[in-house]
Amino acid sequence: MITTFLDIVISGLLMGGIYALIAVGLSLQYGVARVLNISHGEFIMIGAFGTYILYKTAGVNPILTLAICGPVLFLIGFFLYKTLFKILLAFSDSAEIFEGKSLLASFGLLFIIQNIAILIWGADIKSYSFLNIGVDLGGALFPANRMVTLLFAVVISMTFYLFLAFTRMGKAIRAAAQNPRIAGLMGVNINQVLALCFGFGALMASFAGGLLSMCYPITTTMGMEYTVIAIIVVVLGGLDSIVGSFIGGFLLGIVGSIVTYIEPGLALVAYYAIFIILLLVRPTGILGK
């Protein structure tokens, strides 16, 4: 009984780590830059494929690849904001109009990125084997790659949190999240900060993608599923709370693990049910005011 319980919790945490990472990225992009990025999952997919290709063709260690793909996707995200979303922001009369327009634009990006990927990499399922050995945890066996994944997800999130809490740039980001106009008046280069946040969001997605590819099969159409999960987690944690997204990720991971234990077919139903009920009862999220 206790072993089963531990089994459920640990596999929940393992999945939750990835969810948290994905959600923190999306939360940065929405909470600060006000872009509900529907193409978030496509960045995850690029991160995953980058890792896969480098491992298969050049034998590069997937963990090392995190440090290669991450910065590349950061730059892509950064310049995407500097071009596309900056223009949109300039043409939008209000924050609400910008939110609507940027949501649709990111939907367009989803199509562009996904189909370029299909044209290059095809639509087949791909996977590789990395650290696929069992580790005994309290009587249950867990694959080592998933432990590594969890470890990295936590380390990356923590590092980022410390960055937000203690560095000058982190403070500028938090100020911009609360009130971009006032932050601008206080001398924060607001366009730069928003672009950085979008870049950081893409960076997180890339990390998550790399970690995912170590444990699960990947396809060029995998993005949407993770985007949806990220949106659910972000709503769960409160649309503009980065800490909330982190906690929400683990929470959803555990809920998913419990439901999967009871009835595997209902995991996604449960996610959406939680999501819809939460939106109705508490749209500001579990940590919201």
Partner 1 sequence: MDITTLKSKKSLIWWTVIFTIFILLIFLPFYTQGYAVVLLISILVYVILTLSWVMFSGSTGYMSLAPAAFFGVGIYTSALIGKVFPFPITVLVGGMASFILAILVGALTLRLKGIYFAIFTFGLVMLIAYSLLFFEIQVTGTRGRFVIVMDYNTIYFYMLGIFMLLLLTTYLIKNSKYGLALRSIGQEEDAAAHTGVNVVGVKVMTFAISAFFMGAVGSVMATKLTYIDPFIAFSTTYSFMPVAMAIFGGTGSLYGPIIGAAILTYLEEILITKFAEVYMLIFGAILVAAILYLPDGLVGFIQKIWRRLMERNHVDT
Per CB under 8 A, residues contacting partner 1 are 36, 84, 87-88, 91, 96, 99-101, 103-105, 107-112, 114-116, 118-119, 224, 228, 231-232, 235, 239, 265-266, 268-269, 272-273, 275-276, 279-280, 283
In angstroms, rounded to a whole number, what is the distance separating the alpha carbons of residues 230 and 19?
7
Q: How far is the CB of 182 from partner 1 (least distance, A)?
A: 21
- Residue 123: phi and psi, rounded to 5, are -110, 10
Min separation Cβ 251 and partner 1, Å: 17
- For the CB of residue 50, give the shortest distance to partner 1 in the complex, in Å: 20
Paired tokens of 51: 């890792």
Query: Distances from the Cα of 243 to the Cαs of 23, 28, 151, 192, 250, in angstroms?
Result: 10, 11, 17, 23, 11
Q: Which of residues 75 and 87 has its CB atom nearest to partner 1 in the complex? A: 87
Contact 138, 8 (CB under 8 A): no
Q: What is the 3-state secondary structure (H, E, C) of 64-112?
A: HHHHHHHHHHHHHHHHHHHHHHHHHHHHCCCHHHHHHHHHHHHHHHHHH
* Cα-to-chain-centroid distance, residue 97: 24
- What is the residue type of 86? K
Distance CA 244, CA 255 (A): 16
Distance in angstroms (rounded) separating the CA atoms of residues 52 and 60 = 9
d(CA 269, CA 100): 27
E strands within the chain? 134-137, 140-143
CB-nearer residue toward partner 1: 75 or 119: 119
Instruction: Decide whether 162 or 276 has the Cβ nearer to partner 1.
Output: 276
Task: Return d(Cα 287, Cα 21) in angstroms, integer.
Answer: 18
Report in angstroms how near the CB of residue 248 gets to partner 1 at its nearest: 14
> Shortest gap between Cβ of 101 and partner 1 (angstroms)?
5
CA distance 5 to 65: 34
Minimum separation from the CB atom of position 119 to partner 1 (A): 5
- In the bound complex, what is the minimum distance in angstroms from residue 235's beta carbon to partner 1? 7
Q: Which is nearer to partner 1, 238 or 253 (CB)?
A: 238
When the beta carbons of 111 and 163 are compared against partner 1, the nearer one is 111
